Structure 1
Amino acid sequence: MTDHELRLLRHAACGELLFHRGSWGGPSGYRWRGPDGIEAGRVPPWDETALDRLAEHRLIAIESRRGPLDRRVHITGAGVAALVATARAA
């Protein structure tokens, strides 16, 4: 895992990411979650690519639910294990 991916995994672990499906306006993709819990800006394209890789490796997961709201991005058990392993190696 790259340092860039590790940084984004930490953001997911802290609850700082949302995913917008694009079904109710605007393009789909990752967004930053503000302190009030709502969208606080779009994640840059290079970060979106890295987040897609983390999702493909099942280190993060996008909340499943019906409706137009943004979905939270959660760290998975495998993601937690990866964070712990990198912390031990440091």
Structure 2
Amino acid sequence: MNDHELNALQHVAADEVLFHPGTWGGPAGYRWRGPDGTEAGLVPQPETDVLERLANLGLVTPERRLGPLERPVHLTKAGAAALAPLSAAA
């Protein structure tokens, strides 16, 4: 796992990432979560690519639910395990 992937896992673990499904307007994709819990801007494409790679590896997953609103992105058990050595070192 490289530094970009670990950094993305840390952002997800800190509850800083949302996923917009693209319904009801706006493109689908990852968004930053603001301090009030609402969308605070688009995640840049390089970081989006890393988040997509982590999702494909089963390390992060957007919350599954119906509706047009942004969904929190969560670590999976595998994602938490991948982040654990970094957390232990801190």
Q: Per the shorter chain, which TM-score range?
A: over 0.9
TM-score between the two structures when normalised by the length of structure 2: 0.93
Give distance in 2, aligned partners of 1:22 and 1:87. 33
Displacement of 1:86: 3.9
* Whole-angstrom CA distance in 2 between matches of 1:85 and 1:27: 35
Q: Identical aligned pairs, as a percentage?
A: 58
State the partner residue of 1:65. Answer: 65
State TM-score, norm by structure 1. 0.93
How far did 1:2 drift? Answer: 1.0
Q: Which runs of 5+ in 2 are unaligned?
A: none
Q: How big is the shift at 1:85?
A: 2.9
- Looking at structure 1, the residues matched to 18 and 71 of structure 2 have their Cα atoms a distance apart, in angstroms, of 5
Number of the residue aligned with 1:51: 51
Gaps of 5+ in 1: none
Q: Distance in 2 between matches of 1:8 and 1:17?
A: 9
- What per-residue deviation string (whole Å, max 9, x for no partner) do you get for residues 23-71 of structure 1? 1111110000001000000000011100000001111011000011101
Q: Distance in 1 between matches of 2:3 and 2:61?
A: 19
Q: Which amino acid aligns with 2:33?
A: R
Whole-angstrom distance in 1 between the partners of 2:7 and 2:13: 10
Q: Which residue of 2 aligns with 1:18?
A: 18
Partner amino acid for 1:29? G
Residues 79-88 or 16-25, more deviating: 79-88
Aligned residues: CA RMSD:
1.4
